[in-house]
Amino acid sequence: MAHLEAEFNRLLQLAQAEGSQMGTVRDRIVQTIYREAQDIAEKAVKLKGKAEDVDRMIDNVVTSKIWGYPLMLALLSVVFWLTISGANFPSALLAEFLFGLQDQLTALFQWAGAPDWLHGVLVLGMYRALAWVVSVMLPPMAIFFPLFTFLEDLGYLPRVAFNLDKLFKKAGAHGKQILTMCMGFGCNAAGVIACRIIESPRERLIAILTNNFVPCNGRFPTMIAMAAIFMGLLVSNYNSFTASALVAGVVVLGVSVTLAVSWILSKTLLKGIPSTFTLELPPYRIPKIGSLLIRSVFDRTLFVMMRAVVVAAPAGMVAWILANIQIGGLSILAHLAGWLQGFGCAIGLDGFIVLAFLLGLPANEIVVPILIMSYLAEGAMVELDSIEALRELLVNNGWTWLTALNMMLFSLLHFPCATTLLTIRKETQSLKWTVLAALIPTGIAIAVCFVVAQIVRGLGLF
Amino acid sequence: MSAAEFELTRLPVGKRAEVVRVGSVGSMRNRLLDLGLVPSTVVEAVRKSPAGDPVAYKIRGAVIALRSEESRQITVRSLD
């Protein structure tokens, strides 16, 4: 027995000694592999210095102290401007076409003698929500994603990460997070997928959990409308420039919250999770337009679109049912809003707004249409012709500039849409992080709106 | 042969050096080994970010940016 034990201890020591040697063994293997590879490469590969010189010249400008940041801001502004202004016309066309198709569908249902409720659920509920999401979402994404993919293929985006890394390092995050945030402007679900480019586990989780603080395409129209209404309620005549500045301010606030939350996460929940940083600055390339279009349109635009369609259709149905089933003379929607009224009021909103955000969980695009539907007590989602008509409706329902302001803040900070949450679940493979990805922003949104409402009311502004 | 050894952080832009030792541990060490950053590899400091950190290095034909925390762990010897 005693000699067996001695034998065992001897083997154990041997194994431990081998184990501690493993690190250096691995180093030696890697070193040998690279030496071999280098020898072969020296014999077989001839390098031309030209392309590299051009790259260095471009980088001298793109990452310079003087031009680095202004160039970055200018390029991003151009991308946004092209997206927002370029999407208006095709969005209107698409809406006209899809809502025109709705009349055809209605005619078809009448011809077939279908009952009213069936027409309501399928056409006024489901189809309208779908038409809505597609016409609002598709054009900006079809412009934004190819432009963004162009900058990506060009090799410019890693330079942006290079320029901004120090800022993100201070927040405990990775420079590449700026790229996932830019992607988030197109769609937060796409932004969360983009976090795969961050190889360090801790920084990747930080980027996933905070992507939602960048307002996506589905929330941008809400922000723009709310900014116009806020300015309209605050001063009698305002110009569109101040409303745009307000939207820009909201975006800056979103970025600040992103950095603050990243910093807190890296110091608390994500403390101790390993972190590495390496960032490749690849050679510049002229993008191949064909593959660029295929990737940006099929892999990004249509992929995101399909996911949104899948969740928006049932949401439209539910909203229609809630708005059309009456209990004791009031729709279920109105009952629910009544229950939420106290909470909504405390955070500077009202019951209908909170309910619209909850029903809009599947897709942010349908929040404002649901809200208009509930204020008008109409059976289906509608859009008003002008911002003035919308403002009148809102004021008649007790809105002040505080409501518009808090609506903007809540929209910026609240829980991610269902598509994004599903994507987070898929990317993190963890229910815990998915739940936190919903709870953290919601907590912040409620806290910020509550504080703003209390300050404004405390100052006696209302 | 025994030129002065120093931290990679102190390599001026435009200068080349040879890696002597990689002091990083864990996943960062794996990452650097993946990039071919092993002893005797030649490294050139290419450019600094406008904010001063990170710094881009040319390592085996690729340009890789490293933060000062990482490059401080790497000991090099000057070649120029």
Check residue A21 and give its pLDDT: 61
Check residue A23 and give its pLDDT: 65
Q: Band the pLDDT of A218: cuts 50, 70, 90.
A: confident
Indicate if ipTM > 0.90. yes
Among residues 149-178 of chain A, which lie with CB inside 8 Å of chain B?
A: 162-167, 169, 175
Fold of B5-78: SH3 type barrels. (2.30.30)
Q: Chain B within 8 Å of A273 (Cβ-Cβ)?
A: no
The answer to whether residue B1 scores a pLDDT higher than 50 is: no
Check residue A184 and give its pLDDT: 92
Q: Is the dihedral of CA A33, A38, A44, A50 positive or negative?
A: positive
Q: Burial, B52: exposed, middle or buried (Cβ in 10 Å; 0-12, 13-18, 19+)?
A: exposed
CA dihedral A333, A366, A236, A241 (to 10 degrees): 160
Among residues 22-61 of chain B, which lie with CB inside 8 Å of chain A?
A: 22, 26-28, 31-33, 35-36, 38-41, 46-47, 49-54, 56, 60-61
Check residue A414 and give its pLDDT: 95
Mean pLDDT to the nearest integer, A18-43: 80
Encode pLDDT of A330-365 as tens digits: 889 989 999 999 999 999 999 999 999 999 998 888
Q: What percent of chain A has pLDDT over 70?
A: 96
Instruction: Indicate the domain borders of chain B.
Output: 5-78
Give the residue with greater pLDDT, A18 vs B23. B23
Residue that has been written with the tokens 């900058």 in this structure: A151
Contacts of A91 (CB under 8 A, 6+ apart): A135, A136, A138, A139, A140
Residue that has been written with the tokens 């390092």 in this structure: A169
The answer to whether residue A381 scores a pLDDT higher than 80 is: no
**Helix, strand, coil % over all residues of chain A, rounded to 5:** 80, 0, 20
Spatial CA neighbour of B20 closest among B79, B75, B78: B75
* DSSP-based three-state secondary structure for B47: strand
Length of chain B: 80
For residue A279, give the nearest of B28, B38, B64 by CB distance: B64
Alpha helices in B1-80 (DSSP H): 26-34, 68-71
Q: Which residues pair with A331 in a beta bridge?
A: A326
Angle among Cα B25, B31, B37 to the nearest 5 degrees reads: 90
Contact B40 A35 (CB under 8 A): yes
Straight-line distance from the first to the last Cα atom of chain B, in angstroms, rounded to the nearest whole number: 13
Give the residue with greater pLDDT, A442 vs A50. A442
Check residue B71 and give its pLDDT: 92
